[in-house]
Amino acid sequence: MSILVGKETRVLIQGLGSAGKFHTGTMLEYGTRVVAAVSPGKGGTAWEKVPLFDSVHQAVRATGADASCIFVPAPGAADAVLEAFEAGVRVIVCITEGIPTLDMLKVKNVLAGSSAVLIGPNCPGIITPGECKIGIMPAAIHKPGRIGVLSRSGTLTYEAVDQLTRLGLGQSTCIGLGGDPIKGLDFIEGLSLFEKDPGTNGVVLIGEIGGAAEEAAAEYARKNMTKPVVAFIAGRTAPPGRRMGHAGAIIAGGKGTAAEKVAALKACGVRVAESPADIGQQMVEALKAR
C-alpha cells in the first residue's frame, strides 16, 4: 500500500527539455507508467516510445493519464500546472524551481477547494518504491516498505531515506513537498493520508526554518496521529533574518525558528532527531517503543 501514486498511476510529462528527458528516462527505467508527454507542436510523434501530444487535454483524453510531472521552466510553470488542473489531472507534481511567488499565489487560489493534489513546486517529487517514481530523486536509495516520508527539502530527504534503507526500514511513499513559500500539498495533508494508509507504520517529517507549517503539523499529529512521527528541523544554526537559498528558509519577525519548531513538535509527542545523522535511528526507536 502507499499514498497518492502506485503501480496503476498513469503519468504524463510536461516540459520535455534536456532535464525533462533525462529524468523521464530514469522514471521509465524504474518502471513508472509514463503514458504521454506534452510538447506543443509535436503532437502525433513520439519520444523513446512515449507518445507526444500538443496539449494536456489531448494527452489525458487519449491515454487516461491521471498524474503529471512538470519540468516546464519557471516563466511558464504556473501555466503548466493550471493546464494540468483544467484537464482533470488528479496528482500534479511540479519539479520546477524559481517560480515567481505571485504566480504560485494565483495557482494556489485556483486549486483551493478542488480535489486535485499539487506536489511542489521546487521539489524532488513523489515515489512509491518499487511501483512508481515521479520526479528526480535517486531511485537506488529507496526500498519498498512501511515508512512514509514528508519533507520540505530535496537532498536532505535523500539523506533521511538512505538512513532508513540502511537500517532496513523500507518506505511506503516519500514526498518532497518543496521549499517555496507557497506550495501545494502540506505536512498536515500528507500526515492525514499516511494515517489512513494501512501500508504505513510511521512517518518521517523533515522541516526547516521559516513559516509555521511544522508547528501546525505538530498540533495535527497530537490530535490525529496514532502512528509514530519522527521529525528533523534543518537550520538550527542559521543566523536569523538571513536568506538561505530557499525562499522558504526566511525567518520573519522571530517566527518559525528551529528552536520554536522543535519545542512545538516535542510538546505534541513527536520525536525530534537532534542530529541529521540520527533521523533513521530515531524511527527505529520510535517503532520499538510501541
Residues known to be catalytic: 246
Cα–chain-centroid distance for residue 143?
17
Smaller CB separation from other proteins, 35 or 104: 104
- 162 contributes a contact to other proteins by CB under 8 A: yes
Q: Give yes or no for residue 66 binding other proteins (CB under 8 A).
A: no
What are the φ and ψ backbone dihedral angles of 136, each rounded to 5 degrees? -115, 10
Per CB under 8 A, 259 contacts other proteins: no
- 199 burial (CB, 10 Å; 0-12 / 13-18 / 19+) is middle
Q: How far is the CB of 102 from other proteins (least distance, A)?
A: 6
Q: Establish if 208 lies at the interface with other proteins (CB under 8 A).
A: yes
| Region of residue 12 (phi > 0: left; psi between -120 and 50: alpha; otherwise: beta) | beta
Task: Show the cell assigned to 166.
Answer: 540502511
What distance in Å separates the CA atoms of residue 89 and residue 81, rounded to the nearest whole number?
Answer: 10
Q: How far is Cα of residue 171 from the mean position of the Cα atoms in its chain?
A: 14
Residue 42 makes contact with other proteins by CB under 8 A: no
Site for other proteins contains 234 (CB under 8 A): yes
**With binding defined as CB under 8 A, does residue 245 bind other proteins?**
yes
Query: Count of alpha carbons within 13 Å of 189, Cβ hemisphere only?
Result: 13
Buried b (16+ CB within 10 A) or exposed e, 113-129: eeebbbbbbbbbbbbbb
Total site size for other proteins, rule CB under 8 A: 62
Q: Pick one of 54, 66, 86, 159: the residue that binds other proteins (CB under 8 A).
A: 159
Which of residues 7, 46, 64, 109 is near other proteins by CB under 8 A?
109
Q: Of the candidates 46, 105, 167, 267, which one interacts with other proteins according to CB under 8 A?
A: 105
> Considering only residues 14, 63, 128, 157, which one is a binding residue for other proteins as defined by CB under 8 A?
157
261 binds other proteins (CB under 8 A): no
Burial-class residue 245 by CB neighbours within 10 Å (0-12, 13-18, 19+): exposed
Q: ∠ CA 197-113-137 to the nearest 5 degrees?
A: 50
Q: Binding other proteins by CB under 8 A: which of 154, 190, 202, 228?
A: 154
Residues that bind other proteins (CB under 8 A): 19, 23, 74-75, 97-106, 108-109, 112, 124, 136-138, 141, 151-159, 162, 179, 181-182, 206, 208-209, 211-212, 232, 234-239, 241-247, 249, 252-254, 274-277
